[in-house]
Amino acid sequence: MKKIKKFVYLISPVKINNKTFFETLDLVFKTKRISFFQLRLKKQNAKKIVNIGKKIKKLCNKNRVKLIVNDDPMLAKKINSDGCHIGQSDSTVLNARKIINKKIVGVTCHNSKKLIKKAIKEKVDYIAIGSFYTSKTKKIKFKANIKLLKAAKKMTKIPIVAIGGINLKNYKKLLLNKANFLAISSYVWRNKKLSPVEAIRKLK
């Protein structure tokens, strides 16, 4: 039997309010395509995020998925997640390391070689670059291309996460150009034709 590749870095929907979400997420994890799940809830309060995060952590443990918390190393510590993802306007790598120690720290580098070099120097655990395509999740300020992905792969062996508007039509091109993981959100959670599980299953 062909081994399924776990290349999906799944980002949460903007809001998590209902119980059925956790059931759906468990089924999505069972497709065995998810390596990371990023909890990215910008509009909910910290206490609620911690409660949601702890429930998701149990599902992650059960399905061997690593839980990453967006933006906030302190929240990551409270949830006891596997790591934290920081944007350029959030915490520093140094500060995140002080709070979460040897856990995973990933950094957004947009479309900048300078930021990629800085991240390499800071010994991050993965580098996120994008946006490769138009995204439904957020407005595109930075546009990345395959040339940058190839350049990043020559610069470092640190895993590269490609981000931005990735879907069934364009994901293979990124994998063929050696992106280690694909950050995906709206293709799964806001897909009008496919359920989250069906959407994930189509990525092979």
Q: What are the tens digits of pLDDT across the range 176-188? A: 999 999 999 999 9
Residue 109 lies in a domain: yes
Residue 191 lies in a domain: yes
Residue 33 lies in a domain: yes
Residue 143 lies in a domain: yes
The DSSP bridge partners found for residue 157 are: none
- Domain with 58 in it: 8-201
pLDDT (tens digit, 9 = 90+) per residue, 41-69? 988 899 999 999 999 999 999 999 999 99
Closest by CA to 109, choosing from 100, 118, 99, is: 118
Query: How many folded domains does the chain comprise?
Result: 1
Q: What is the pTM of this model?
A: 0.95
Per DSSP, helices labelled H in 20-126 are: 20-29, 46-63, 73-79, 93-100, 113-121
CATH of the domain at 156: 3.20.20.70
Residue 56 lies in a domain: yes
Q: How distant, in Å, are the alpha carbons of 27, 29, 76, 87, 170 from that of 22?
A: 9, 10, 19, 26, 28
Residue 3 lies in a domain: no
Residue 17 lies in a domain: yes
Which positions ≥6 away from 51 have C-beta within 8 Å?
Answer: none
- pLDDT, the chain, mean: 94
Residue 2 lies in a domain: no
